[in-house]
Structure 1
């Protein structure tokens, strides 16, 4: 189990860095404890050249008195050495480079947009030449709404082709708070928009917090979910709604930008972050690919003007008093530091530098050292987060020992199975039920025994209940059979009858008179991530003939499949890459995956840390939203004898069974078909990439109450906390469905069979109600896993 906690990699960023970033400055930043340094790709000299070109071009246009169309657009000459201080070096890989912030790729003015695009591509090309890995691009200007988003996204898509190996990060504020204006720079190109286009550049009166996410969604969609395109997310002083935080969490955030203005000041004058900030940072740092952190405009590097100054830099071991949270209620937080806070920051910064010259960095390292420990599931699933796996086919494939071993490490499942068997045996005895054995022992058969963990638990349950059992282990895997027989000779002391056969072909326990008896308790662990996706219904139907028809017990006795719509850009991008190769049907496969970086689209309730006394625990890190998860269908065992009889008549095409069933089969398994149509309310604008699938099961319900297992995120902690045997299942959509706020999503899903295999079909539809009428906004194609169905 991976129990290591995430490391925080922290960089120093100045929006207007006074000194050129030399190798010596990079070394000094490392001496100060920073892992990286930022630098602009070009400098003020290049900026002046572009402004001069724009000025001369505008003048020539006005003097010619001709419209723009006959004139070729201005062309920026190639970069010169005086235009940049960046150069190939040994330290260039430790730099995070920034393209010019004074360009406007989304400008309605074609001249400004054209110049901005040239600047971007010149800088990208030069950064790639220098060996730069990481480039940050300013986000689109949203002062005029979404007018120029398409051309902004197109410019970014071109930039991905210009720098074929670069990782591009779009700088996006979490709440749209810093991309509405024209910027403070007097040389900002947005200030030179022609009056002809100025009316399209009016300030939006009420900024929309979701606008920045929507701009990002448009950009990455046009860029086809490129794996080289991600986000540099800027945290505001006051975080937006939990719903918007969760949306950003699901996106590919590779840099986390924390400006000085986002910090509060505690009673000792030390910079600290609010509880919601702490919660968001600690949560996003748990991702498989955790982002780097940039501390922005917190002041120059200490001792930068005195390189011979030797200082001691803290490593995050702060006293509780030093790191104590500020007592400022979140409801009274202003968008920027108050004058009193700013004064305390300045005053305390001067006096405390002797003790801690990098207080912001020290505080983040304090958060790193005080993270909640990993849950069992996090530790077990290390490396498997958002990793797509094909569902198992236990009927057609013989599993390897290592696969069984992984399942057997579950700390909860087998305890719960043992409890269920123990209760069943106690109830059996208290109710004076007759047994199916010749010596009065309760006959217990573990079907699909694998390497035998359930057999061991059945024997322990017998001892705990004080009820003797006659144990059978049924397993078709010839390799696992060898292991079971050796286990029986050693560990079980020959108390178990091991049978190598498909459970559906087993005739039951052999009796002394040469006939076959019945089983009193049938135990199985055939469930898959969606309950029935590994053919538990078909297997248990096939072995039901050995179960005592009067009072036989199946463990489990029932199970239900559950689902909810989710947004998961990371997995969708992975599927796009796979679909371009040999896996052409990649969007028609239900994938088993440990979902981590995703967002629930339909929720019941939000939770947020507002109280200064609220502790940040594993619970509120992993569950900031309570999703709406609905039941698709249910299976129960044993099924009624009438249904079994009808299936038997249909098998082989008996006239008494009907007209031959459906296409591709005789209908013997038709009773295991299912269909559901579910409606989910969508509270916030979003994009649906697919469906998250889960299950719940009742192993046994008797005099002591039900024994249940669950992977449903709403009930799993209540019913089977820390269970690790099953990851969720994911039903993808080939084309993501855009969903407006206050809309509804309908999900239709079928479980189909043709008597040779079982598969799923699914589609989703988006609806909105206008003037009392429910109108369809979009519908996905019908996805079908028939070609990859589970063989019977």
Structure 2
């Protein structure tokens, strides 16, 4: 049974364009919210939202004067020899706000603004006085923003990273301040303004730390470590326990870094992409534009369900002279009382004009709007329906212990690709059966059984395959769900014209097709030539396909019986997915098994932390199951169940007979991570061979389905029936560069249920032949949510 439903939809009904860009403007010179006329002007220019500072220049001067006075007293006392410690002077206390310090007040429009915390504070300053005052400013502005009705605030990111000039102490201070801010502003959303990386030559804003003459100046680095900025963000959100109200406002650099870092930021909770003047370059006509690489990055980021908004910083329409213009026009008798009433060109021709920083007031906005129109069309897998499932956690199904609803079946049936592949596999199997002149278990017909028929889509495909090949068939539909059984009987009457034998039973208890029946001898059971099932889960075997097919294998004809599918493999890879981890962490407050659950999820905002190197793929195979299993294995299973074997096998659990030990699995895989990073769990996929050709000419050719990201396009393009599975770690595992992640994984069973266990260990080389373990996860287990047999 397919897992992770997506809903039925027509692939042709797909929007022609990607989402509309949300364009904002931030002016670092702005001292107050816009007037209604200014705001209306920006809206008419294509701006969707604007920012406002919480406090103004008057407040900045007061704070700078306070800090400068205190630092001066410290210097004087040190010169006079009266003290050698900052603790000898009382720590300065920030005075309360006055009406002269801010222009933001409660109003009907204030919640449409994004507030900007003063960019000149330095929460990570090594000077304790400056760090303290910065924290006081932060909390004061947050408290006031909360009062006025603002909904979101942008915090200036740390000015230094952990690896620079003792920055670790400052970063800890910064992270703790942000955590406190989340408590102070309990109704606010916070965005930390982070550069994608510390770009050489990037302008540094004036901060309180410039008042401390004893602080060492930050010199430009010759060798740029592009991951320090992400390291700082990872530190901040870790200290803040992955708070769901904490986001990133990511500053775009002039030169984009390597793709690995771009992908890493893609997985983060992005809310804004900020574009400064330096990011734009002039095209041949002198208009602002972005490089092809920047354009592609924006297009990629816009594929997210919660796509980032674009914030233009210090570029775009200039509104500084709008009110002056309106006043001049009013003096000439032009009505400007409404923000929707703007002057015509002739009326404005002789009026004082605002000084715009660009060739035309909306050049940058026009370019972004043009870029919006250049987005690649949506693909089949990017419909609104599928996009809504991005990174949405779903509990795995329990198809054996639960009876599914009709709506669930309908979801699975909405994927034509899967059933086309199944039909093609049936056609190949019937064609080769006919070509190879194989004997049938019943004279003149190939007996087909669909195990776990649901509402009958595979039955329909089997009948179509028989019609296409001209092979006579006898079809049996086996289904345990009593409600689906009723539906199958109706399908047999109205669609299949009575050609199907419908049986209500658990497939493992089915004795086979009835050949004949008499009062004296009772029913006589035959065998099945082709057994078809769709019991696969997101990890291949996680919905107990091996156990179910083992239980029905006794009805298959020997030696020519065919199972569709004939084999399937599970695959996994370590990933970073901070959004999912934050979601699971929040659930764990009320759900004690949140981190024990292998979640079915349409993984999208993720980053594969390992890279492909010789001998080690980024996604590796865990194990394989094949059907039918060898006859001696089946006999051993029956012996264990009947008590013929004492103690079971080596993998059996305490008190179990070990009858299902042959379906337990273990693997140990090594993944190579050249750059440092963090992982939150394992992404799981599967591949399945539905049918493999048996003729001499085409032997080895396969009909396959796959969810493996590297092969789905060539094996089952646009298949949507299965979403990946996610095995979470209880705590994020941080690892240094040049690390080998060694992952152990088990498929465990005690004859009544099946569960998984997984363990991650990070090893790094310290010599040509010596490694040390630098990190390890707990031994994770899904036994509490095991799949019941």
Q: State the TM-score, normalizing by the size of structure 1.
A: 0.89
Give the direction of change, closer, same or farther, for the CA distance of 1:29–1:168 in structure 2 (3 Å limit).
Answer: same
What secondary structure is seen at the aligned counterpart in 2 of 1:511?
strand
In 2: Cα distance, 1:766 partner to 1:311 partner = 67
Name which of 621, 641, 644 aligns with 2:634: 644
Give the deviation of 1:730 after TM superposition: 0.1
Name which of 473, 477, 480 aligns with 2:481: 477
For the Cα contact (< 8 Å) 2:543–2:787, is it kept in 1? yes
- Verify: 1:699 aligned to 2:720, yes or no: no
Post-superposition Cα deviations, 1:49-108, rounded to whole Å, max 9, x if no partner, equal: 011111222333345532222322100011111101111111112211111111111011
Partner of residue 419, structure 1: 424
For the Cα contact (< 8 Å) 1:144–1:200, is it kept in 2? no
Give the deviation of 1:250 after TM superposition: 0.3
For the Cα contact (< 8 Å) 2:758–2:781, is it kept in 1? yes
Partner of residue 783, structure 1: 780
1:228-377 mapped onto 2 (5 Å cutoff): 228-301=245-318, 304=322, 305-307=324-326, 309-310=342-343, 349-350=358-359, 353=360, 357-377=361-381
What secondary structure is seen at the aligned counterpart in 2 of 1:515?
strand
Name which of 181, 188, 195 aligns with 1:166: 188
Partner of residue 457, structure 1: 461
In 1: Cα distance, 2:527 partner to 2:402 partner = 28
Partner of residue 318, structure 1: none
Partner of residue 76, structure 1: 94
Name which of 159, 167, 178 aligns with 1:146: 167
In 1: Cα distance, 2:592 partner to 2:649 partner = 37
Give the deviation of 1:347 after TM superposition: 11
In 2: Cα distance, 1:112 partner to 1:658 partner = 69
For the Cα contact (< 8 Å) 1:448–1:476, is it kept in 2? yes
Partner of residue 338, structure 1: none
What secondary structure is seen at the aligned counterpart in 2 of 1:28?
helix
Give the deviation of 1:348 after TM superposition: 11
Gaps of 5+ in 2: 1-8, 327-335, 337-341, 346-354, 518-522
Give the deviation of 1:203 after TM superposition: 5.7
Post-superposition Cα deviations, 1:717-737, rounded to whole Å, max 9, x if no partner, equal: 010010000000000000111
Report the more deviating stretch, 14-23 or 491-500.
Answer: 14-23
Q: State the TM-score, normalizing by the size of structure 2.
A: 0.89
Give the deviation of 1:190 after TM superposition: 1.3
Name which of 684, 707, 711 aligns with 1:711: 707
- Verify: 1:744 aligned to 2:749, yes or no: no
Name which of 559, 570, 585 aligns with 2:593: 585
Name which of 556, 570, 579 aligns with 1:547: 556
Gaps of 5+ in 1: 313-345, 606-625
Give the direction of change, closer, same or farther, for the CA distance of 1:20–1:637 in structure 2 (3 Å limit).
Answer: closer
Report the more deviating stretch, 283-292 or 25-34.
Answer: 25-34
In 2: Cα distance, 1:299 partner to 1:472 partner = 69
For the Cα contact (< 8 Å) 1:180–1:203, is it kept in 2? no
What secondary structure is seen at the aligned counterpart in 2 of 1:467?
coil
For the Cα contact (< 8 Å) 1:697–1:709, is it kept in 2? yes
Give the deviation of 1:455 after TM superposition: 0.3
In 1: Cα distance, 2:557 partner to 2:259 partner = 53
What secondary structure is seen at the aligned counterpart in 2 of 1:777?
strand
Post-superposition Cα deviations, 1:321-341, rounded to whole Å, max 9, x if no partner, equal: xxxxxxxxxxxxxxxxxxxxx
What secondary structure is seen at the aligned counterpart in 1 of 2:416?
coil
Post-superposition Cα deviations, 1:620-642, rounded to whole Å, max 9, x if no partner, equal: xxxxxx97110000000000000
1:620-699 mapped onto 2 (5 Å cutoff): 628-655=618-645, 661-699=652-690
Give the deviation of 1:501 after TM superposition: 0.4
Partner of residue 438, structure 2: 433
In 2: Cα distance, 1:421 partner to 1:370 partner = 43
Partner of residue 198, structure 2: 176
C-alpha RMSD of the superposition: 2.2
Give the direction of change, closer, same or farther, for the CA distance of 1:441–1:299 in structure 2 (3 Å limit).
Answer: closer
Give the deviation of 1:545 after TM superposition: 0.3
For the Cα contact (< 8 Å) 2:575–2:607, is it kept in 1? yes
In 1: Cα distance, 2:601 partner to 2:475 partner = 35
Post-superposition Cα deviations, 1:142-173, rounded to whole Å, max 9, x if no partner, equal: 16363311001011111111110111100011
In 2: Cα distance, 1:107 partner to 1:201 partner = 12
What secondary structure is seen at the aligned counterpart in 1 of 2:498?
coil
Post-superposition Cα deviations, 1:744-768, rounded to whole Å, max 9, x if no partner, equal: 1011000000000000000100010
What secondary structure is seen at the aligned counterpart in 1 of 2:364?
helix
Name which of 519, 523, 534 aligns with 2:543: 534
In 2: Cα distance, 1:214 partner to 1:522 partner = 53
Partner of residue 409, structure 1: 414
What secondary structure is seen at the aligned counterpart in 1 of 2:612?
strand
Partner of residue 103, structure 1: 121
Post-superposition Cα deviations, 1:431-465, rounded to whole Å, max 9, x if no partner, equal: 11111124x11000000000000000000000111
In 2: Cα distance, 1:203 partner to 1:368 partner = 36
In 1: Cα distance, 2:603 partner to 2:166 partner = 34
1:186-265 mapped onto 2 (5 Å cutoff): 188-193=207-212, 195=214, 198-199=215-216, 204-265=221-282
Name which of 143, 152, 157 aligns with 1:125: 143
Partner of residue 608, structure 1: none
Give the deviation of 1:199 after TM superposition: 4.5
Post-superposition Cα deviations, 1:473-505, rounded to whole Å, max 9, x if no partner, equal: 000000000000000000000000000000000
Post-superposition Cα deviations, 1:494-518, rounded to whole Å, max 9, x if no partner, equal: 0000000000000001012531000
Give the direction of change, closer, same or farther, for the CA distance of 1:279–1:294 in structure 2 (3 Å limit).
Answer: same
In 2: Cα distance, 1:496 partner to 1:450 partner = 14
In 2: Cα distance, 1:393 partner to 1:299 partner = 55
Give the deviation of 1:31 after TM superposition: 2.3
